[in-house]
Structures are given as structure tokens and as C-alpha cells.
Structure 1
Amino acid sequence: MNPRERRAARQGATVDAAGAPRRRPAPITPARVVDTALDLVAAEGYEALTMRRLAAALDTGPASLYAHVVNKADLDELLIGRLCAGLTLPEPDAAAWRDQLRDVCTQVRDHYLRYPGISRAALALAPTDPEIARVSEGMLAILLAGGVAARSAAWAADALLLYVAAYCLETSIVRRRAVRDDAAWVLDRDELGGRLEALPVGSFPLTVAHAAEITAGEGHDRFDFTLGLMIDGLSAGRGARR
């Protein structure tokens, strides 16, 4: 082994036929598959994530990838599981259960929005991954601590997560459309309000009169409003445990 080859070997590289050092590819592991997939989604959006595209990003072929991931649905579960692992769940508190639910849902929202469109992977997903199940378990515990009936608590946990996923998916779509010059004007609030106010008042009297309210809201105001409606509705109908 010549000096060039020895130095390359020390640095984890090999030497090609022309004598130039070539970095030895890192071994493929499930964790590396998830890391690479998340990087791809963060850069290009969830729609760009295909098994073929992921294999190319890992500098391997689909066959090597399928040795670690069963299929796209399995990859989706791994991705959502990784995001769920970053969530902090509180010790259920009967006096603060509403705020605790809002906090968990807000954490989920913020994690999803870092990866455009990834909440699509959470839709119709069976919660068998331990980290996904941990979040469902934690939300169920908070609801039960708040006195919500068992079946209502189970359905509410699912409904809250479903709403968060849908909200994040729509937000991601809007954000991606907003960066296109030919679509930005369509999403402008003043433009939208003007178009609503221009509708025939005889056919749409309420829409025209309340165009400002229909288009109102900053940041996540609508998210907070809807979450409040859902949680307050549980407060009103907790009833007996079942």
C-alpha cells in the first residue's frame, strides 16, 4: 500500500484507479435512511420523496434500500415515528389538561411544518410504531385525567391529531404555492377579500358583508381557534366514564 492509499485508508476513503481518494460510502442503516429522507423532504417537500429518489440520495439501488425499509408505507411510519420521538409529553394534570393538550398539538404542528407536506404520511397511519403509540398514549392519558369518557377520549385523541395533520398539509401547500410568482397574488389576503366583496351581493349577501372576517387571522390564529373549539367541546360533554 503506497502512502496515498494509507492516508486514504486512515481517513475512511479508498483510492480509485486514477489515484484520487474516493470516500468510502457510509453503511446504510434504518436511522440513516430516515435522516436522508427527512433531509430530502426538508429541501424539496414530501411529494419529492419516492423510494427511487431516496435510494439515489443514499447512493445505492432500490434493492439495498428495501433491505431496511419494507415499502413506502413503512418509511412513512418511520418518519412520523422519528418526529414523534422529539415530542415532550407532560405528566397528566387534571387541573391543566386543556393547556397540556394544546401544547402537545402545537408541538406536533411545529414538527410537521419543518418538513413541508410530511403530515400526509401521518394520514391513515396505523399507530404501531412505539414513538407514535407513545404520543397517542400520552394524549389519551391527558384526556382521561381531565375526566373525559374513555371512548370520547380515544376518539378525541385521533381527531385532534387528524386535524393537526390536515392543517399542516394545507399550510405546506399554501406556502409552496406562495413562492411561485404566478400564484402569489391568488393567496394575497387583500386580493382574496376584494374578490369576495366583488361577488353578486344578491346571491352572496353574507359573504360580501363579512369578507373581512372570512379572510381574517394572522399566523396560527385559525389553528388556535379550531383547537380551542375541539377541546372546549370535550369540556362541555365529558360525562361519565365508559
Structure 2
Amino acid sequence: MPADPRDPRERRAARKKPITVERITDAALEVVATEGYDALTIRRVAALLGTGPSSLYAHIVTKDDLDDLLIGRLYAEVTLPEPDPAAWREQLAGVYTQIRDLYLKYPGISRAALAMVPTSLETLRVGEGILAILLAGGIEPRTAGWARDALSLYVGAYALEQSMVRQRRRQENPEWVLSQEELLARFTALPAEQFPQTRAHAAELTSGTGPDRFAFTLGLLLNNLGRAAA
């Protein structure tokens, strides 16, 4: 006879499942996916696992540890190409686009990557892969290291802004806090004597999608790196 999940004994057995790093990471991702990154705490993760915070301390001690687990889990999905000196810009754009898309799946999760010292092997694997691509492109090591930091910061900030916009507008896929049409109307209604440039170029200022602007900014950074290498 199959077990009845409503039976208190069955619920107690489920709660006694060992607390592992995998289960902690799964629960943390569930919190972020359903409630947003702001809701993520050790206490909330413990509650989702049906236990108390002290049960998690064999694996994590602080919120920083949770952040490291989360980013490590996401970065495990990143595919790294074999560095190609002839295509290093395209390779970097591809890697950072993967990272952007992973961040966007979980609202606000890119905050976990900001100001974090990575210890997860997956996070370090991706950092090593990005560095290898930069060096293959002829970028001097210090410049490559600083460029990696700047690119990662931009991608994290872009994803964070997108998650904040979605939260404010309460829609699934908005890219602007206001619609482009409303922004255009506001810019063109500004006093001409105070804002001549904004009025004259309002259409250009409000043009493009989020992905368009993302690709544009990555291109600026990577093209300048190319000139430095040359």
C-alpha cells in the first residue's frame, strides 16, 4: 500500500532528509525564482527545507555563502569555447550573453555576484575561461584582469536594472520603466530653450531594445580592448 503523504509520519520522514549543499542551493534558487532576491535569507531557505537555520550551518554560515552557491550553480550552465585569437570578441560576447540570460531568469540574482569573492569552482572556471579568451586576443594580463572585472560588472548591473524595471512595472518582459512612446512624448514636450539637444534627438535617445543596447555596450568595451591589444 503506497504511503499517504498526508500522514504526519511521512511528513516527518521527509523533513529528516539530509541537508546537503545541493538541497540548500535548490531551495535558494526557488526562493529567488518565486519571491525575488530580496526575499532570500538563510532563515527563509531553512523554512523551505522544513528545518531551522542551525541545520544549515554545517554547509553555510552567512548570506555570502548562499550567494556563492547561487552563482556557482548558474555558472555551471555556462559553456566556454576554446579560445580563438581570431574570434575572441565574438567569444566573449557569447559568454557574457549566456551569463546575462541566466541572471534574467532569476529576478535580482546578479546582486549575488556583485562585490563577491568567488570560491565556487564553477564560478572560478568561468572566470578562468574568460581570462583565457582575453589573453588569446592579445590583451596584456593586467588589462585582461581589469577588463574581465569591468565586463562582469556591466553585465551584472544590466541584469539588475532589468529585474528592477520588471518589479516596478509588474509585467513579465518590460525593458523600460516607461514605454518608449511615453518617454518620447515627455522628451519632446520639454522646454526647447532648456533642453534643445534632448528634444532634437528624442527619437534616437529612446530607440533600441534592451538586448540592442546590451550588445552595443559590450561592443564598445571589446572594440576598445582590441585597439589596446593592437
Q: TM-score, normalised by structure 2?
A: 0.91
Query: What secondary structure is seen at the aligned counterpart in 2 of 1:89?
Result: coil
Q: 1:60 to 1:22 in 2, by over 3 A?
A: closer
- The yes-or-no answer on 1:52 pairing with 2:52 is no
Alignment partner of 2:182 out of 176, 180, 191: 191
List aligned pairs for 1:77-226, cutoff 5 A.
77-179=68-170, 187-226=178-217
Query: What secondary structure is seen at the aligned counterpart in 1 of 2:229?
Result: coil
Query: Partners in 2 of 1:157 and 1:185 — Cα distance?
Result: 27
How far the C-alpha of 1:55 sits from its partner, in A, is 1.4
Query: Partners in 2 of 1:127 and 1:28 — Cα distance?
Result: 23
Stretches of structure 1 that go unaligned for 5 or more consecutive residues are none
Which of 1 and 2 has greater Rg? 1
Q: 1:229 to 1:185 in 2, by over 3 A?
A: closer
Contact kept, 8 Å, 1:100 with 1:142, in 2: the verdict is: yes
Query: Partners in 1 of 2:156 and 2:228 — Cα distance?
Result: 25
How far the C-alpha of 1:194 sits from its partner, in A, is 1.0
How far the C-alpha of 1:185 sits from its partner, in A, is 9.7
Query: Partners in 2 of 1:70 and 1:78 — Cα distance?
Result: 12
State the identity as a percent: 59
Contact kept, 8 Å, 1:186 with 1:192, in 2: the verdict is: no
Contact kept, 8 Å, 2:165 with 2:177, in 1: the verdict is: no
Query: Partners in 1 of 2:89 and 2:129 — Cα distance?
Result: 13
Query: Partners in 1 of 2:157 and 2:177 — Cα distance?
Result: 21
Amino acid corresponding to residue 96 of structure 1 in structure 2: A
Report the equivalent of 2:23: 32
Tell me the matched-pair count: 226
Contact kept, 8 Å, 2:175 with 2:210, in 1: the verdict is: no
- The yes-or-no answer on 1:66 pairing with 2:60 is no
Contact kept, 8 Å, 2:93 with 2:218, in 1: the verdict is: yes
State the superposition RMSD in angstroms. 2.2
Q: TM-score, normalised by structure 1?
A: 0.87
Structure 1 range deviating more: 218-227 or 61-70:
61-70
Report the equivalent of 2:66: 75
